Amino acid sequence: MNFERKSGILLHITSLPGEWGMGELGPSARCFGEFLAKSGQKLWQILPTGPVGHGFSPYSSLSAFAGNHLLISFDVLIEEGLLSRRNLSRFPIFDPHKINFPEVIEAREKILFRVADRFESTPAFRTFCKQEAAWLDDYTLFMALREAHANRSWTEWPEALRDRDFQTLKKARGQYEKSIRRYEVLQYLFSRHWKKTKKFFHTLEIELIGDIPIFVAGDSVDVWANRELFFLNPDGAATVVAGVPPDYFSKTGQRWGNPLYDWAAHRASAYKWWTERMHRSFEMTDIVRIDHFRAFEDYWEIPADEPTAIKGRWVKGPNLEFFQTLEKNLRNFSEFGRSFRLADHVIAEDLGEITKAVEKLCLNCGFPGMDILHFRFGEKEMHKRGYRPEGRDENRVIYTGTHDNETTRTWFKKADEGERHRVRSYLQCDGKNIQQDLCALAMRSPAKWAILPLQDLLGKGTRMNRPGTAHGNWSWRFSEDMITTADQNRLLKMTKQADR
């Protein structure tokens, strides 16, 4: 890690305010960027931005390469002359603090599909389709077929489509030409709005931190189009799936259900698919947080017919060779060059039960790991001589909590009295403004980067996700009135005092 001492905010794009049902890549994103700049922040960390699938989770996407067309900005479409206020006169009024995904998706797609169907081809659009064909062609066909089959998983499609028979796919491209073009247009518009947003944040000298889930969803174009890279039955169903054993979050572990990679097949291709995936991620963001990093060293393999994660086993991953090959491959791209170092662009999510081997892999790669303050006030740890919850290592990224945690206020309220006492004693506070005190501790830490969830900065809002549950997640939003000048000034003061 060769990073300057900085700080930033964790907030997913969907949580931004606005009148169109969910956050988007438009004026609300720019306003948030201006807030970050005025409060001295240099980082904006988001969650994955792929098209959402099961449970509306950004970590269960229909594609590892495509963008979520729901993030296309209605306001920017109006600026571009592709939409008018009149077209939105009957748009429903939604809760400003919670996303009703089924209704919001239906309402937004009705507008977006109309825009896409009326879109006139341009040289820029044609160039985009040609340049991105490697992933775009499969994605748009996949989405058209999924739509034609009532959004059922590709494993439930007719056998010839499921198994990608060449002549059947050729016929399908003609049969669903209109739908395919619609999804091409939506990806083009997403790309255009994304580039505008990224450029704006760069003018503010703010870097974007993206997020890569290590595993992909079974019901995704990635698995359908690359079956040889996963452990699957002839019908496309996974033979083994991903998850984690029993831990802090769940007594039965977490059975995520993602198909597992056939790492031997990936290695045989010199990790071509992963190289393209990382290249795409670095095109979109400046830094990438790799979720569940430990699985590159060893991962929890669960038989697909097991209902929980209890009866799994640890299996060795591709380890250091994977990252060495990846770095070598990425250096062949002109925009990166021979001096490109993954260590300058990757954060390793190394949470949970971490072994010495995982720590060694992280160290050998040079990736900064993560510290979560909610996890660092245990009785055993606090009695160790010289222990500090905020850590002593510079090569870390510190958070109060993440999208998987309760907000700090709720965490403190639910903690047992022993833990609350340890927190109050260490912070020398009464706990009444615990979120502010913990934010300040994160900012003062030796870690080069400190990232605060917006909910903790404001002391308002709810958690984004409850691990191990499939419903009721990812829906929190803030409204413009929730951020005050006092919040901005307090954050700026904390940042300056912490020399960030």
What's the CA gap between 368 and 346, in Å, rounded?
A: 7
291 catalytic per annotation: yes
Given the residues 24, 211, 291, 456, the one annotated as active site: 291
| 204 Cα distance to chain centroid | 22
Sign of the torsion formed by the C-alpha atoms of 314, 315, 318 and 320: positive
Per-residue exposure over 35-71, b if at least 16 CB sit within 10 Å of its own CB, e if not:
bbeebbbbbbbbbbbbbbbebbbbbbbbbbbbbbbbb
Given the residues 24, 404, 437, 456, the one annotated as active site: 404
**Structural contact between residues 11 and 46, judged by C-beta atoms closer than 8 angstroms:** yes
Q: Which tokens go with 63?
A: 């594609």
**Structural contact between residues 500 and 5, judged by C-beta atoms closer than 8 angstroms:** yes
Given the residues 349, 350, 371, 390, the one annotated as active site: 349
**Structural contact between residues 22 and 14, judged by C-beta atoms closer than 8 angstroms:** yes
404 catalytic per annotation: yes
Helix (H, G, I), strand (E, B) or coil at 379: helix
What's the CA gap between 456 and 439, in Å, rounded?
A: 7
Helix (H) or strand (E) holding 450: strand 449-453
**Structural contact between residues 260 and 230, judged by C-beta atoms closer than 8 angstroms:** yes
Q: Nearest-5° angle of CA 126, CA 131, CA 136?
A: 85
Distance set, CA 217 to CA 53, 346, 402 (Å):
8, 22, 22
Q: Which tokens go with 188?
A: 């083009």
349 catalytic per annotation: yes
Residues tagged active-site:
291, 349, 404
